Each structure stands twice: as structure tokens, then as C-alpha cells.
Structure 1
Amino acid sequence: MTKKRMRMRFRRGLMTGRFQPFHNGHLALARQALAECEELVIVIGSAQFNFIEKDPFTAGERVSMIHAALKEAGVDLARCYIVPVANDENNARWLAGLRSQVPPFDALYSGNEFVDYLARSQDPSVAVRKPEFANREEYNGTHIRALIASGGDNKKEEWERLVPPAVAKAIVEAGGVERIKMLTRSDTDPNRW
């Protein structure tokens, strides 16, 4: 057994999020998980949603953003899986459904009280790990999208400092700034159609 493997507390960790967009708080959580786990599964939730105000980016765009951000940060990509997963509206089977779509994991990284409850009640053997959040008010997808929507070039740096440079570049290249502004002005709630 190698020294590296002996120091790892968990074989494989999992973190979930919509990553709309992937921000510096997410990157810090990935680093936290990789310091404790041999490998990390990053689950892109709500993969079926895109081009709506709450979820402006496609699953494919989010995969690319996360991959680019991890690579730029010097994270060993051989230790990471990025898996898009569509929502399951039946919360009683959430963990079993998730487990059927991702590699096995023994630690779940979550700052969401409801996710923590579901995981603990559905599989007490999974270790639920709390993120070491830094500045959660700013490192928040809703806040970042609001900054993008409200700004012009003068607000650009306000949202860009909250995401890894690779993500800022991906957002701009995908037309994400214009998309978010347009979606904010439009009725994109799929429940109203």
C-alpha cells in the first residue's frame, strides 16, 4: 500500500450540485474532498434543465467548465469523475438512484441539510462530510447569476472574481453573459408552459 493511499480517509467521495456556474466555493470543496479521498465523483444535478433562469447552462457546458477549472487548478483529473444526472422527483429513492448512476462512493460532501438528511436516512454507512465553506454568500450560483444579469462591462470583474478563470472564459465564449441577461428578462419557468 502506498503512503498516499494510507493517508486517505475515504476511497471515493462524491459532491453534488447544479454548478450554475461552477464557482470558487465549488473548487475549494473539490480540493477538500480530494485531500480526504483517493477519488472524487462530481455529480452535475438537474442535468436535464438548461436555458432557464435558474439553470442557464447545459449539462455539457457544465462538464466542460468543471473539467477546465480542475485542470487549470492543477487537480489530477485521473482522480475525478464528472457525471451529469437528471433529477428524480421521488426523494425516497434518491440515494439508490444516484448510486446506480455513479461509481461507488463512501463519503458525500454536502452543505445542504436536506441532502444530508436523505443520505443519512437512506444509507447510514455513508459518511456525510460538511464543506468548509468560505464566504458562502458570495460563492453562490444565484448571486453570481444576478451579478452577471445586472452588469455591463463595469460589473464584469464582480462576477469573474467569484469563478475560476477557466469558467469565466467558458461563460463568455458560450455567450453565457447574454444568455443569462435574456433569461432574466424572459419567462423561462418550465412549470408554466
Structure 2
Amino acid sequence: MDELENNEVARVDEAIVCGRFQPFHNEHLHYLLAALCRSKFLWIGITKPWRKTVGNSSSHREQDSANPYSFIVRVRMVRQALLECGVDPTKFQIIPFDFESVLDFDQYNPTCKLVFVTITDNWSQSKIEQLEALGKKVCSLYENRDPEITATKIRKSISDGTDLWRTSLPPSVESIIDEELANART
């Protein structure tokens, strides 16, 4: 895995970023904007595109409570947040990116080899190893092992009925979650 220096701005033709985005929050936005600064076109891969997983896993990432939003809702979150920031919609494409299920991976994912990641927890290293095993070149944009904002904290705030989560999201994503909460009540 390569690491970019803070002052190094390597601009490539295309790159991939990936995440579950459950939900898409301000740290995710920072990650995507950093990647867009380093690429002319960005493939935004939504991992775990299907909420139900095959097999039995104890990982919190596999639990239904950690994956409350459908692929389509997450596409809306990412797209609206980027458009809200003034990102040209011709500079990115949002796709399912189920790299943990290697069955036919190359059939529905871009041939682009470069994946930008951030290092935030122990899962990051596992993700890097899996991506490299698929032939991807992985480059770390930055490391932040103690992020203030996490999707886990946001989901807990939402389920507890507190409004702490609202300050951690782009305004458009806050609106989408409000819609989802209203729909769940009806």
C-alpha cells in the first residue's frame, strides 16, 4: 500500500473509493472530497450493497442494525451531499462495490486499479488486504484512528432519539434520514 504525503497532490485519471456509508456523514464527505482532488473521475463504491449477507458473521458490520439504509438510499445520500458541495456530477459515478464477495467481482466493477482508502480502525487493514488480493493498488489518503464522527455513533444517536447525529451529517443527508424516519413511522 502506498501513502500520499499531505502536500503531495497526485492527480490520476480515475480512482475508486469505497465505504458502507451507513449513513453517509461528514468524515465520509471529507474522504470523498480528498479523493476527488486527486482524480479526474471517481468511482464511488458502496460496499455491502445488499443489506442481507450470506453466512454467519459476528462482525458488527454484518448486523442488520449496522446496515439500516438500502443501497438506493445510500446512493441518494452520497450523490446529494456531493452535489450540495458543488461537485460536478460528471466527475463521479456511484456503484455497488461488494469486494468481500469475489464471485463475479470483475463482471460488475470498474477495471480501474487504484483504490483510495483512509485508515480509521483495525478493519482498514483487512480491507486493504482484500482489495490488494483482488489486484487493486491501494493508496492511503490519510490516517485518522480517532475520528470524532463515526456511523456507529450516529446510528446510536438516531436510535436513542437524540439530535446529536444532526451535526455530523451534510444537510442533504439529514433531510434524507428525516424522510426515512418519517416513512418508518407510517
Aligned residues: 162
Q: Is the 8 A contact 1:48 1:59 kept in 2?
A: yes
Runs of 4+ off more than 3 Å = 85-89, 133-137, 176-179
Scaled by the length of structure 2, what TM-score is found? Answer: 0.76
Larger Rg: 1
CA distance in 2, matches of 1:27, 1:133: 15
* Structural mapping, 1:42-57, within 5 Å: 42-49=44-51, 52-57=64-69
Provide structure 1 residue ranges, at least 5 long, that are not aligned to the other structure: 1-6, 180-193
Residues 22 and 57 of structure 1: is their aligned pair in 2 closer, same or farther, counting only changes over 3 Å?
same
More helix by share: 1
Provide structure 2 residue ranges, at least 5 long, that are not aligned to the other structure: 1-8, 53-62
Scaled by the length of structure 1, what TM-score is found? Answer: 0.73
Partner letter of residue 96 of structure 2? Answer: P
Q: What is the percent sequence identity of the aligned residues?
A: 27
> Which residue of 137, 141, 153 maps to 1:131?
141
> Which residue of 167, 173, 183 maps to 1:161?
167
Residues 78 and 47 of structure 1: is their aligned pair in 2 closer, same or farther, counting only changes over 3 Å?
same
Residues 177 and 160 of structure 1: is their aligned pair in 2 closer, same or farther, counting only changes over 3 Å?
farther
Q: Is the 8 A contact 2:14 2:114 kept in 1?
A: yes
CA distance in 1, matches of 2:36, 2:177: 25
Deviation at 1:31, TM superposition (A): 0.8
More strand by share: 2
Residues 85 and 130 of structure 1: is their aligned pair in 2 closer, same or farther, counting only changes over 3 Å?
closer
CA distance in 1, matches of 2:182, 2:35: 29
Considering only aligned residues, what root-mean-square deviation do their CA atoms show, in Å? 2.6
Q: Is the 8 A contact 1:72 1:166 kept in 2?
A: yes
CA distance in 1, matches of 2:86, 2:143: 21
CA distance in 1, matches of 2:64, 2:157: 16
Q: Does 1:105 align with 2:112?
A: yes
